[in-house]
């Protein structure tokens, strides 16, 4: 236990026979329950887990008959933790990328009442992470974090794709998991759902572990971005509708609307003017001014909407 709280650990695993052992053998004593969800592995992951279970009675193996996706593996573990009435549910991957000796950093904001959901940020205090992490992953992570800020309303949160998290277990019972993303793109999707439920999220620094000669992450960065982008866009509009129209109308809806309408119109008009000019056509000064006004007004409206959104969500980001 940690400060009188019962702590559960959820470890999703898919074809992790090489790295699941060091992950589980480094689980600290303060963890009360360990739910390892074998998501339809085709290798010997389950056998390795069973061998460790003989020595560590805290570990429970939950098997999916077929691969159902990382999000579903976590949901399975979350529901079991909620069923067992734990207080805090921690998540780490089965690929030994997350240092469990740092778990108190994740537990403290919840036990002290600061936050309901705590997630790792590999960039907060580690200047070397951009050197140890492949460039494609750093770039992809930055792009995803920016998109996630828009989608979720958690504007202070960075490294949104990091899977090292801790959640106040009672939150699990407030979420309709049947409507949550079940695959790798769960991070931003779930955070948008948390925002609508008023869940407070806090970033904490954590070390990134990259073992030489091991391809630990199974995510292909740019394929991942293409996959999650449409869902993040949809979640943005879903969150805006739920928070600022259904719950209580807020003028930021109008500012967002003006920005999303005027900016594309201004860009199209600007490109049209460039085309006319390149082909020797004449352009009137009034047309140029009107195009500029469309763009300026659109960007100003979008900026106002973002500022309003930041203010409205300030209390959810301690």
Residues 297-315: pLDDT tens digits? 999 999 999 999 999 999 9
Same domain, yes or no, for 76 and 225? Answer: yes
Determine the Cα angle at 213 with ends 143 and 203, to 5°.
Answer: 35
Domain end marker among 243, 275, 304 = 243
Same domain, yes or no, for 289 and 226? Answer: no
- Residue pLDDT, tens place only, 21-70: 999 999 999 999 999 999 999 999 999 999 999 999 999 999 999 999 99
With respect to residue 36, please indicate whether it lies within any of the assigned structural domains. yes
Same domain, yes or no, for 94 and 229? Answer: yes
Averaged pLDDT, 283-306: 95
- Bigger pLDDT: 139 vs 229: 229
**What's the pLDDT at 271?**
95
Same domain, yes or no, for 145 and 263? Answer: no
Q: Yes or no: say if 61 and 46 are a contact pair by the CB < 8 Å rule.
A: yes
Domain end marker among 243, 275, 294 = 243
**What's the pLDDT at 131?**
62
CATH number at residue 174: 3.90.550.10
> Which class for 125: exposed (0-12), middle (13-18), buried (19 or more C-beta within 10 A)?
exposed
**What's the pLDDT at 216?**
47
With respect to residue 2, please indicate whether it lies within any of the assigned structural domains. no
**What's the pLDDT at 184?**
82
Average pLDDT value for the chain: 92
- Bigger pLDDT: 201 vs 214: 201
- Residue pLDDT, tens place only, 74-86: 999 999 999 999 9
Q: In what order do the strands lie in the sheet with 165-168?
A: 59-64, 33-39, 7-13, 88-91, 165-168, 117-121, 201-205
Domain end marker among 225, 243, 261 = 243
Give 2's pLDDT tier (boundaries 50, 70, 90): very high
Same domain, yes or no, for 136 and 62? Answer: yes
Same domain, yes or no, for 180 and 296? Answer: no
With respect to residue 236, please indicate whether it lies within any of the assigned structural domains. yes
Give residue 75's domain range: 7-243
Same domain, yes or no, for 217 and 309? Answer: no
Same domain, yes or no, for 190 and 263? Answer: no
With respect to residue 148, please indicate whether it lies within any of the assigned structural domains. yes
- Give Cα separations from 78 to 9, 86, 134 (angstroms): 9, 10, 31
Task: Count up the domains in the chain and report the number.
Answer: 2
With respect to residue 284, please indicate whether it lies within any of the assigned structural domains. yes
With respect to residue 86, please indicate whether it lies within any of the assigned structural domains. yes
Q: Which residues sit opposite 9 in a β-bridge?
A: 34, 90
Of 89, 238, 109, 235, nearest to 165 by C-alpha is 89
Same domain, yes or no, for 133 and 230? Answer: yes
**What's the pLDDT at 116?**
98
- Bigger pLDDT: 132 vs 194: 194
**What's the pLDDT at 213?**
56
Calpha distance 278→282 (Å, rounded): 10
Same domain, yes or no, for 69 and 135? Answer: yes
DSSP calls for 200-247: -EEEEE------TT-------HHHHHHHHHHHHHHHHHHHHHIIIIIS
**What's the pLDDT at 145?**
87
Give 136's pLDDT tier (boundaries 50, 70, 90): confident
Calpha distance 194→129 (Å, rounded): 28
Share of the chain above pLDDT 70, in %: 93
- Residue 219 clears pLDDT 90, i.e. is over it: no
Give 232's pLDDT tier (boundaries 50, 70, 90): very high
Determine the Cα angle at 276 with ends 271 and 277, to 5°.
Answer: 95
Give 287's pLDDT tier (boundaries 50, 70, 90): very high
- Residue pLDDT, tens place only, 100-133: 999 999 999 999 999 999 999 988 866 666 566 6
Same domain, yes or no, for 68 and 212? Answer: yes
Give 207's pLDDT tier (boundaries 50, 70, 90): confident
Of 14, 32, 25, nearest to 51 by C-alpha is 25
Predicted model pTM: 0.91
**What's the pLDDT at 122?**
85
Same domain, yes or no, for 161 and 309? Answer: no
């Amino acid at each position: 236990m940690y400060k009188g709280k019962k702590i559960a650990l959820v470890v999703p695993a898919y074809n992790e026979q090489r790295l699941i052992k060091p992950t589980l053998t480094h689980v600290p004593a303060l963890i009360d329950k360990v739910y390892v969800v074998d998501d339809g592995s085709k290798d010997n992951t389950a056998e390795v887990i069973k061998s460790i279970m003989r020595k560590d009675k805290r570990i429970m193996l939950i098997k999916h008959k077929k691969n159902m996706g990382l999000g579903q593996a976590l949901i399975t573990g979350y529901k079991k933790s909620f069923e067992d009435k734990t207080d805090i549910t921690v998540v780490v991957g089965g690929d030994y990328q997350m240092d469990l000796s740092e778990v108190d950093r994740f537990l403290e904001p919840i036990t002290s009442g600061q936050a309901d959901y705590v997630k790792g940020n590999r960039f907060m205090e580690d200047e070397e992470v951009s050197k140890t992490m492949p460039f494609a992953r750093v770039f992809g992570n930055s792009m995803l974090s920016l998109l996630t800020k828009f989608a979720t309303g958690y504007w202070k949160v960075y490294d949104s794709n990091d899977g090292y998290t801790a959640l106040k277990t009672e939150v699990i019972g407030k979420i309709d998991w049947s409507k949550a993303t079940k695959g790798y793109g769960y991070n931003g999707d779930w955070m948008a759902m948390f925002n609508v439920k008023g869940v407070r999220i806090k970033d904490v620094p954590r070390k990134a572990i990259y073992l030489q000669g091991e391809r630990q992450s199974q995510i292909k960065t740019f394929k991942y971005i293409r996959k999650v982008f449409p869902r993040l866009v949809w979640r943005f509009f879903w969150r805006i509708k739920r928070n600022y129209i259904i719950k209580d109308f807020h003028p930021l809806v109008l500012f967002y609307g003006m920005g999303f309408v005027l900016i594309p119109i201004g860009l199209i008009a600007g490109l049209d003017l460039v085309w006319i000019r390149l082909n020797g056509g004449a352009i009137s000064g009034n047309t140029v001014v009107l195009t500029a006004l469309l763009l300026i007004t659109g960007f100003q409206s979008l900026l106002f909407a973002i500022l309003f959104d930041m203010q409205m969500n300030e209390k959810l980001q301690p």
